[in-house]
Structure 1
Amino acid sequence: MSHFPMDIIESLRSISRQTGLPIWLVGGTVRDWLLGRPAKDIDLIVPERAFEVGQHIADQLNGTYIPLFETVETARIVLRESKMIIDISNFRQKMLEADLFARDLTINAMALPLNGPFEPAQLIDPTNGHADLSRRQIRAVSKAALQADPVRILRAIRFTAMLGFHLEPQTQQWIAAEANRLIYPAMERITEEFFIILQHDKAHQYVDVMDKLGLVRVLLPECDRLRNIEQNNYHHTDVWAHTRLALAELEAILLSIDDLFPTHGEAVRHVLKQPMASTRCISDMLKFTMLLHDVGKATTQSKDADGIIHFYQHEKVGAHQSRAITKRFRLSNTETKFVQNVIRSHLRPLGLLAERDHLSRRAYHRYFRDTEKDGVVILLHALADISATRGKSNWQTRRQNLIDLIRQMLDYYYQPQPNPPLLNGTDLINAGVPPGAEIGRLLRQLAEEYAAGTITSREEALAFVKQAISPDATTTPHSDI
């Protein structure tokens, strides 16, 4: 089996034989061995004395021993050289088979003794998990297993996505019946599983599965309220169907960054990979935000005298509503600010598209200034949004026009900037500007004039400042877009 840590397994087998201690490889480690997948860690189980056995393994394999839980003795060994993690615990039931029957999924409910031949024929497999691997199906051990820990409902979806398997029909029925139990576990656990699902390249398929089984109704009731909300003739679906299609379009865009934006693909991918939390990055949060981007439409629908549907200010309403959602999911302040900013600004690129024949560099500058560091991903969001808006026959032309506009805006965004800036705060004070808010205002205005090309040197910048603070100075506001 390729990429599997057989050297460590052989060392563990040797320890088991030498000491006479019965040790079983269990759970996901057995599953990954049978599938030929790399193992991120190794799970072991013993009838008793897990602390003692774990300490012995740490001593023999040059690892750091960490006791985790005392109620059911559980310890962790971190091997110093390979950094491989080995977890070992006592049986949670009196007998091994009973322990396996209490697990979540059949493919995670297999064990392999380390003191005998290391081959599939030696599997302890009371729930027929090996057969389910062959059938490429995810099957819960029992309905009671889902009831005992409702997070296992999401784990079933997660493994369906991770392995590319199908969800067994009886398990689907159990999940649908037990969906309401997802209100009980700690939300941090729910969030972890939910985002692992979103990290899949085609997460939209598994969001659809969750929707079909009633999980969206429980986890994201704000999205559930978008069903059957009719839209104007730019759209061909209701709001919730549009949202799901927009997520699918976003994922297609994320897989095609280099083709869509060949000049700046690497830079855009770098932005998307930036971490936002310990296990989440910007691309993950962008997918989550896509699910929420139109939640404001549930309360803002109106019709004008001609019967045309509008959702005035839905982006602002949605940004406000999203704060309660991110709080419920226990997201960080940084993640919350990101979600709100993207939702609040998600129509901004479409406004620029409507004026594309009259846009100036000043308009690009204002866009990236106002959207702060999220400007690039908001452009991608807008492209996915418009790609899922197919009510009019010219939607493909509008999509291509937006791609062309985004390319131009990325050219502007990634152009070299003056380093150091033409002027700084000290320069302004030396020029006679009093300390205070006026310093910041003038620096922002200088940045905009540089972006527009009306100021290109330090001398021109100083002249601009002197004119701005002169009692006789007259200013003409710029009207270009």
Structure 2
Amino acid sequence: MQHVQTAMNRLTELAASEPVATLAAAFRDAGAELALVGGPVRDAFLGRPVTDLDFTTNARPDRILEIIAPIADTHWDIGREFGTIGARIHGEQVEITTYRADSYDGVSRKPVVEFGDSIEGDLNRRDFTVNALALSLPELELVDPTGGFDDLLEGTLRTPIEPEVSFGDDPLRMLRAVRFTSQLGFHLDLASFDAIVALGGRLADISAERIRDELTKLLLTDKPRAGLELFVETGLAELVLPELPALQLETDAAHQHKDVYEHSIKVLENAIALETERRPEHAPDLELRLGALLHDIGKPRTRAFAPGGAVTFHGHDWVGAKMTRKRLTGLRFDNDTVKHVARLVELHMRLYNYAEAGWTDSAVRRFTRDAGAQLEQLLLLIRADITTRNRRKSDRLQFAIDDLEARIAELREREEIDAIRPDLDGEEIMRILEIGPSRAVGEARAFLLELRLDEGPLGPETAKARLREWWDARERA
């Protein structure tokens, strides 16, 4: 029970901090109840960083505003209709919400806000028992009407009420269950699992934006495997991201020891490990993680059997890129994310295509040009994609990537390859050829760009001569 005492010590220190102590004193003096609730209490017991400070109270929103106005640096009431008031107190952002007793209208599945009168009733309406813990202030008494503390000790995700009722009231809670298995490292109790299997179709009542946000939170956890596996096992993935469970049906000829589904999750894990190792100061890279998970989704559509039983997936990269764009657009990801993830999927095989012919300077320039600003992401994805257990093959592929990175660095020292442009711009082309704006200018520029990619910087005089040669040949044709 040592960790329990440690958790209470952490909560006591938090309650004594200037923002929380000021807030607690203000509500006490106003004769109102106040409790720290949900995630902060849960995370204190789990030894996780306590970030968001959420409070609950019996005071109604107007009364909350009256209480915090004298002590807040600033406050806002954007969530007022749902009973939530936000404030910044001594530099700390907090949210205070009136006890809730939600009911649902049965049509839109949106909650009808009903304020409650007791903290026990408020906690019973929350998603999982481990999130239904509260610390009353300033008394520092743990409030646990649903058995959340025991579930914390056992690592169990369980709903405070019957899971069929809880998930029926808010179907998004099913995806939250998936996410929490990865975020907290907990297991879902059997009754909740069965309820999700039975009620999965109710996700159709949830907006694509809310589903996207939960999927994003899952992928940004340190260890998303457990959540993704539950996502597939419950059938929710079939409704949200059907391309993922479809990978279970295929055998990857390049990774015969595992199917493409297992390979894709392993690539995601590899990508996360590479992120941590190579870019520890960066926030988790959602685009890279989506690219890792989805990089092979074109394989089921491109599988073909060659003589002798060999399996091929020709074109799975560009087919997968097209599928990626469609799926992420449907999930309402922003345009840049859709574009960048699809590009990673499209280019993830480029190393193998070039490596067979050898890395000429021209090939390195073209690879760099095609990857653009995503070059670092693409190289990480290509490394993550190496999951073979054949040590010799793995070493050979890793060496190929090392060699490519060295070649890129070498060319960077000799020339500008990160933003390759023709040696002459449009104005110069028109002046040299004595022509006005036209399609021919674009063709000339494309010719010079190809020269730049094949031969490197030419210099203005050589570029002029080659341009005139091309123009004369074009005129004679």
* Cα deviation, residue 123, structure 1: 1.4
Of the candidates 134, 140, 146, which is equivalent to residue 159 of structure 2?
Answer: 140
* Cα deviation, residue 295, structure 1: 2.2
Deviation readout 1:76-101 (Å, 9 max, x if unpaired) = 2244x515132322432443212211
* Cα deviation, residue 15, structure 1: 0.7
Do 1:353 and 1:405's aligned partners in 2 also have CA atoms closer than 8 Å?
Answer: no
2:139 corresponds in structure 1 to 117
Greater alpha carbon shift after TM alignment, 427-436 vs 321-330: 427-436
The 1-side partners of 2:120 and 2:255 are apart by: 58
Give % identity: 27
The alpha-carbon distance between structure 1 residues 229 and 366, as it changes in their structure 2 partners (threshold 3 A), is: same
Do 1:379 and 1:406's aligned partners in 2 also have CA atoms closer than 8 Å?
Answer: no
Of the candidates 182, 185, 192, which is equivalent to residue 206 of structure 2?
Answer: 185
* Cα deviation, residue 198, structure 1: 0.5
Q: Which amino acid aligns with 1:337?
A: K
1:401 corresponds in structure 2 to 399
The 2-side partners of 1:162 and 1:314 are apart by: 32
1:162 counterpart = 2:183: yes
Q: Which amino acid aligns with 2:27?
A: S
Q: Which amino acid aligns with 2:96?
A: D
Q: What is the total number of aligned residue pairs between the two structures?
A: 446
Do 2:40 and 2:50's aligned partners in 1 also have CA atoms closer than 8 Å?
Answer: yes
2:248 corresponds in structure 1 to 227
The TM-score normalised by the length of structure 1 is: 0.81
The 2-side partners of 1:174 and 1:48 are apart by: 35
Q: Which amino acid aligns with 1:210?
A: F
1:352 counterpart = 2:354: yes
* Cα deviation, residue 36, structure 1: 5.6
Do 1:16 and 1:23's aligned partners in 2 also have CA atoms closer than 8 Å?
Answer: yes
Do 2:268 and 2:292's aligned partners in 1 also have CA atoms closer than 8 Å?
Answer: yes
1:8 counterpart = 2:19: yes
Deviation readout 1:162-207 (Å, 9 max, x if unpaired) = 3344444554444444433333211211111111111123223432
Q: Which amino acid aligns with 1:457?
A: G
Do 2:252 and 2:259's aligned partners in 1 also have CA atoms closer than 8 Å?
Answer: yes
The 1-side partners of 2:144 and 2:270 are apart by: 41
The 2-side partners of 1:176 and 1:139 are apart by: 15
* Cα deviation, residue 330, structure 1: 0.9
Structure 1: state its 5+ residue gaps: 258-264, 274-280, 476-481
1:377 corresponds in structure 2 to 377
Q: Which amino acid aligns with 1:111?
A: A
* Cα deviation, residue 252, structure 1: 2.7
* Cα deviation, residue 472, structure 1: 9.0
Greater alpha carbon shift after TM alignment, 46-55 vs 464-473: 464-473
1:58 corresponds in structure 2 to 69
Deviation readout 1:280-321 (Å, 9 max, x if unpaired) = x7x212222332222222222222333322223222322222
1:74 corresponds in structure 2 to 84
SS of aligned partner of 2:76: strand
The alpha-carbon distance between structure 1 residues 474 and 348, as it changes in their structure 2 partners (threshold 3 A), is: farther
SS of aligned partner of 2:302: coil
Of the candidates 50, 57, 60, which is equivalent to residue 49 of structure 1?
Answer: 60
1:311 counterpart = 2:313: yes
The 1-side partners of 2:405 and 2:476 are apart by: 37
1:40 counterpart = 2:63: no
* Cα deviation, residue 109, structure 1: 0.8
Do 1:362 and 1:448's aligned partners in 2 also have CA atoms closer than 8 Å?
Answer: no
2:145 corresponds in structure 1 to 126
Greater alpha carbon shift after TM alignment, 342-351 vs 455-464: 455-464
1:209 counterpart = 2:230: yes
Do 1:55 and 1:65's aligned partners in 2 also have CA atoms closer than 8 Å?
Answer: no
Q: Which amino acid aligns with 2:139?
A: P
The 1-side partners of 2:47 and 2:156 are apart by: 17
The 1-side partners of 2:270 and 2:69 are apart by: 48
Do 1:108 and 1:129's aligned partners in 2 also have CA atoms closer than 8 Å?
Answer: yes
The alpha-carbon distance between structure 1 residues 414 and 210, as it changes in their structure 2 partners (threshold 3 A), is: farther
Deviation readout 1:111-147 (Å, 9 max, x if unpaired) = 2322x422xxx11110122233334443332312233
The 1-side partners of 2:468 and 2:273 are apart by: 51
* Cα deviation, residue 222, structure 1: 2.1
* Cα deviation, residue 366, structure 1: 1.7
1:104 counterpart = 2:102: no
Do 1:433 and 1:469's aligned partners in 2 also have CA atoms closer than 8 Å?
Answer: no
2:329 corresponds in structure 1 to 327
SS of aligned partner of 2:69: helix
Deviation readout 1:400-424 (Å, 9 max, x if unpaired) = 2332233235415754529997532
* Cα deviation, residue 361, structure 1: 1.1
* Cα deviation, residue 7, structure 1: 1.2
2:387 corresponds in structure 1 to 388
SS of aligned partner of 1:255: helix
1:342 corresponds in structure 2 to 344
SS of aligned partner of 1:431: helix
